Structure 1
Amino acid sequence: MSSLTKSTPLVAPGHTRPVTHLSFSSLQDDGTYLLISSCKDGNPMLREWTGDWVGTFLGHKGAVWSTKLSLDSSRAASASADFTAKIWDTYSGHPLQSFPHNHIVRSVALSPSAFHLLTGGQEKKVRIFDLNRPDADPDFLSETGGLSHEATVKSVVWVGEHIGVSAGEDGWWDLRTRALATSITFPNPITSMELSRQTGRLVVTSGKTVAFIHASPSNNAAPSHTLTLPYSPSSASIHPILQDRFVTGNSGDEWVRVHAMDGEEREVLKGHHGPVHCVEFSPDGEMYASGSEDGTIRLWQTTPGKSYGLWQGQNGG
């Protein structure tokens, strides 16, 4: 089912190399939010909910693979190919802390209180840093000195103050109270995992599969809903309010797709000029963002033609 009104994206330029990861902030008290982007140019960018540029975080010496914002948006965390993870002040853009690793860092996550940082990457280990004790050695979330995946850790998220989840090319790990609680093995390497905070679900892509997993600590971590698509999605994001659709990117072509929760393809959106590496719904569900090999971010309306943000006055609404 296609929308009667054509979806015309807003283009957010600024990066000079492929965009690797996108992450929206939580919805703020005034109804606005922020968008932070990662790029192989090594310079994460912060944008307003309209897509307008706020600032660039300068300091990494390699590609940035992941950036996340704290719940109050006052802090940002970044993961880089320069073997470091960094914490930033989003108001000033200044780096506050830098944590060295022994290999490329692929993913970061700030705990709900922003007191702890979770990291993972090509070191194949999951680390936790106490931001109030930056000089202390990190914990490795296991009794044996390091929770080790057998392959690169693609994503880490916090689902509670003391509960983390990591996804590697070899499977999905549920880390509770700094010890391994549950693991799930997928038939193909995991390519992405994001937490949909409003729906309480983790969205995981692996091969041609999209899995929706309840993130509740009381849940047994079994996928609540799994779909097989005719292509291999690079990333997926569920509508945070309606929960009736999800959007995907695909490293095999230049299109963004919208699917119903039964897998039916609703829309194919064309605009990028390179593979789409990452997608993410805004916290109010009014739009979603996509990042591409072409170095651009595109913002798409969930309801094309609606008067919203920078689309006001452009759609006749």
Structure 2
Amino acid sequence: MLSTTSSSRVIPLTCSGHTRPVVDIHFSPKTSDGQYYLISACKDGNPMFRAGMTGDWIGTFVGHKGAVWSARLTKEAHRAVTGSADFTAKVWDTFSGEILHSFSHEHIVRAVDFSKDGTKIVTGGKEQRLRIFDLYRPEAPPLEAQAHTGLIKAVVWDEKTHSVMSAGEDSTIRIWDLRTMRETAKIECEAPVSTMTMSNDEEYVMWAAGKTANFLHTDGRPEDVKTYKTEMNLSSVSLHPDHTKFVAGSDADLWVRIFGFENGEELEVYKGHHGPIHTVSYSPDGDMYATGSEDGTIRLWQTTPTKSYGLWQRDANDVQE
């Protein structure tokens, strides 16, 4: 059932600047000063850093020599990490834009993430190998683990369970103990995993695989995955902070869809992009979500279109036409 809010009455804010498809976006948590930020990874090789609430451009990280596939921010958004087709993962100072560390790999780096305290990063990619680098000892050999039989497309650092999760084209999610780097469990999926992320409140790990949206509570067991089947191939999913709904994008059409988390019912459908949607993410306060597309743009969508928020300043009864 479609929402009573027509798609023609909801106009997202458009963040331009990229010149090729946007393949990954990530909101920081709210920082100690009450702000939050957005980073985007793009095939143009130039990840961008923005104010989260407005989408205003702050800076571009210049230094990669290939497509950037993944980007993450630390809790305080003072550092960024990016993974690229130039066989490197780079750590950046978000205030100066300078490269603090560049870690060489033997092939394309498709996935990166920070530890919760921002002192380590995990990477994965074409080598099918997981690596953990210590930013306090950047010259030290990384911890490594290997079991995937296909490209690693996503990694998630789960501090609560002292583990790292990796997912990819072998349709398997593997869970690794951080203390031993041994595989402790795995989750078989019905299709290759396209994206996997941690919810901003760190309560759920979520991933898209084929026509399914999947959610695992960080206190749960691998067999406790909550799965919703849809009618379309999903590229990315993101859970609202209040756990009542989730947003999903598809690489098969141009629509943004909102589903109920309790039963998977389709609640809202909107169109704004001119190309398939590769990545979606709710803001940490849940008042909006961002989408990144093949069309090279990021769009910011208001969760409650009648609410004054960020650049959506309006009278209580005013809805964008």
Structure-2-length-normalised TM-score: 0.93
* Distance of 2:4 and 2:104 partners within structure 1: 48
Question: Residue 3 of structure 1: CA displacement?
Answer: 4.0
Question: Residue 268 of structure 1: CA displacement?
Answer: 1.1
1:258 corresponds to: 258
1:19 corresponds to: 22
Question: Residue 199 of structure 1: CA displacement?
Answer: 5.3
* Distance of 2:4 and 2:114 partners within structure 1: 37
1:245 corresponds to: 245
* Distance of 1:58 and 1:238 partners within structure 2: 31
* Distance of 1:280 and 1:58 partners within structure 2: 24
Point out where structure 1 has 5 or more consecutive residues left out of the alignment.
141-145
1:232 corresponds to: 233
State the AA in 1 paired with 2:68. Answer: V
State the AA in 1 paired with 2:97. Answer: G
Q: Tell me, yes or no, if the aligned pair for 1:7 and 1:305 is still in contact at 8 Å.
A: no
* Distance of 1:181 and 1:151 partners within structure 2: 19
Give the alignment of 1:169-208 within 5 angstroms. Answer: 169-170=169-170, 171-176=172-177, 177=179, 178-198=181-201, 200-208=203-211
Q: Tell me, yes or no, if the aligned pair for 2:233 and 2:250 is still in contact at 8 Å.
A: yes
* Distance of 2:57 and 2:94 partners within structure 1: 13
CA RMSD of superposed structures (Å)? 1.5
State the AA in 2 paired with 1:9. Answer: P
Give the secondary structure class of the aligned counterpart of 2:167: strand
1:143 corresponds to: none
* Distance of 2:243 and 2:25 partners within structure 1: 20
Question: Residue 30 of structure 1: CA displacement?
Answer: 3.6
Q: How many residues align?
A: 309
| 1:70 equivalent among 68, 74, 77 | 74
Question: Residue 313 of structure 1: CA displacement?
Answer: 3.3
* Distance of 2:23 and 2:291 partners within structure 1: 10
* Distance of 2:306 and 2:296 partners within structure 1: 26
Are residue 114 (structure 1) and residue 118 (structure 2) matched?
Answer: yes
2:32 corresponds to: 29
* Distance of 1:4 and 1:206 partners within structure 2: 29
1:41 corresponds to: 44
Percent of aligned pairs with the same residue? 50
1:303 corresponds to: 304
Give the secondary structure class of the aligned counterpart of 2:50: strand
Point out where structure 2 has 5 or more consecutive residues left out of the alignment.
none
State the AA in 1 paired with 2:258. Answer: V
* Distance of 2:110 and 2:265 partners within structure 1: 32
* Distance of 2:167 and 2:156 partners within structure 1: 9
CA deviation vs aligned residue, 1:181-204 (integer Å, no higher than 9, x gap): 111111211111110141511111
Question: Residue 305 of structure 1: CA displacement?
Answer: 1.9
CA deviation vs aligned residue, 1:15-56 (integer Å, no higher than 9, x gap): 000000000001123432000000000000000021000000
Question: Residue 4 of structure 1: CA displacement?
Answer: 3.3
